[in-house]
Structure 1
């Protein structure tokens, strides 16, 4: 993953401001208690070099606002308002490279009580340059973490709630320290949930399989797109529980998400997946995805919000 400093402008406390002026107090409630919700949105530089293609902007914004509802956040912005703020921010920054856009809702009050109501809610948005989060030139190596995935009655996994991501951080660190690229987590039933920051698909006998949204996973937008792409391409899809042992006998596996995009998995717990290389179904879905986001000929161009940057 390569990141750079924030792009020049951010949206903060209702205004577009220089990013270095978008600051909160050390006493901010969200900083103390993790009472925030965030989104992750990619903008890809189009093949024409003059346009940023934002992938499924309205879907990302709707999920952000749903995550905010879990925190009982009350904002003066509609979904259309937030989409407009994001596209305006892209135009103001006018990047000539791929970008990652981070909108987030947070409890902005300076208060010590761990609660959700009676607090001020704010929306902020910033941008950074971002190419690959994981190295897509080679299959990634995963391990099954000893850390269990948070479940819905503890911290709702379907929401991108900031405090819940300590769960991901613990698993990610464990994997990195053991020499792996990322971690997979099991849910309370011992079934496969997802990676530290991505959904998982496996392939069994030509069928694409992924855990259902009731398995304590994030309701991934890239995941939803992959299911659509696969079915349209004639690839059977099953959304069902996955046992840990089923990982080891899969023909293919890949991670997907805004950050990782579509990353082929070469091994899990040191066991090769298939022949340890990117499989044909993974390759086909990668081609569909990257052709779309880079502005190529695609039946899914309606998923792009195209922002001119001239």
Structure 2
């Protein structure tokens, strides 16, 4: 559960977490009309760092643009975003890795089902970096719920209200005794998990659904693709059939809150030898190094 640490940026200042509240009649509450991003903040003897902060800021900008929120980009520069993140981290002084969640809320009261020209409030808070999926081999179930298509609610925009789709799918998986779900699109092709991107390895080739497969164009997904190519691994971004997962040598997922985590079973079928494969292990190690700033890609911002 994402329990905020004590100090939260809300509106225009740092406040106590219990004071960072939205009215019950705001669009954010009535319609789920907010967009957000989550990124890790690492803590080491050298200080605190945030991972791919410019990409997370850009995702907020793009999510707002897709949905029609027209105030964030004009009021928030990247420089302001970084400075506020620094203020939140300094106010909470975490001594271990945390996640930071930044959200743009439409806080206009009872404006009806529209979005342009409405006021917004930005919140940023920290919470403990607890993975949302098992890290030692998970069991997945194909969801009975289909992924919302791009022409209904765009997956590449992280819209709070859209996550009802993920809640339905993951709860069904949990109720059925699994760790998480696999979403299929309306044509039966593989999309992603409830809140993580998915990869498979077959014959030494790394395969993942492409960005037109109703997936979130995940920042960690992009990271894995970059690292895999640097390792000389052949990469395919394309339409993926469910049965390809059944016969894969390896399957793993990635995301800020998922890390790089292996999948050992899908719909009662063993993945490979029910153990973490070599490609998954390699990319997990490279990803961890990238998060902590050991990789030289310009991905880490010192806070």
TM-score w.r.t. structure 2 length? 0.95
Query: What is the Cα deviation at residue 190 of structure 1?
Result: 1.0
**Aligned residues of 1:203 and 1:250 also touching (Cα < 8 A):** yes
Query: What is the Cα deviation at residue 289 of structure 1?
Result: 1.1
Structure 2 Cα separation of the partners of residues 292 and 115 of structure 1: 40
Counterpart in 2 of 1:132? 131
Query: What is the Cα deviation at residue 143 of structure 1?
Result: 0.7
Structure 2 Cα separation of the partners of residues 213 and 129 of structure 1: 30
What count of residue pairs does the alignment treat as equivalent?
A: 300
Structure 1 Cα separation of the partners of residues 63 and 146 of structure 2: 21
* Bigger mean CA offset, 286-295 vs 245-254: 286-295
Could you tell me which runs of 5 or more consecutive residues in structure 2 were left unpaired when the two chains were aligned: none
Counterpart in 2 of 1:303? 299
**Aligned residues of 2:10 and 2:20 also touching (Cα < 8 A):** yes
Structure 2 Cα separation of the partners of residues 291 and 77 of structure 1: 30
Matches for 1:10-49 after TM superposition, within 5 Å: 10-46=8-44, 48=45
Structure 1 residue runs of 4+, over 3 Å off? none
Q: Deviations over 1:206-235 (max 9, x none)?
A: 000000000000010000000000000101
**Aligned residues of 2:133 and 2:180 also touching (Cα < 8 A):** no
**Aligned residues of 1:65 and 1:79 also touching (Cα < 8 A):** no
Counterpart in 2 of 1:71? 67
Structure 2 Cα separation of the partners of residues 199 and 5 of structure 1: 24
2:231 to 230, 233, 238: 233
**Aligned residues of 1:98 and 1:131 also touching (Cα < 8 A):** no
Structure 1 Cα separation of the partners of residues 54 and 296 of structure 2: 18
Residue 92 (structure 1) aligned with residue 91 (structure 2): yes
Could you tell me which runs of 5 or more consecutive residues in structure 1 were left unpaired when the two chains were aligned: none
Counterpart in 2 of 1:114? 113
Query: What is the Cα deviation at residue 14 of structure 1?
Result: 1.4
Q: Secondary structure at the match of 1:85?
A: helix
RMSD between superposed Cα atoms in Å:
1.3
Matches for 1:250-261 after TM superposition, within 5 Å: 250-261=248-259
**Aligned residues of 1:192 and 1:241 also touching (Cα < 8 A):** yes
Q: Secondary structure at the match of 2:181?
A: strand
**Aligned residues of 1:106 and 1:122 also touching (Cα < 8 A):** yes
Counterpart in 2 of 1:171? 169
Q: Secondary structure at the match of 1:267?
A: strand
Counterpart in 2 of 1:189? 187
Structure 2 Cα separation of the partners of residues 244 and 71 of structure 1: 30
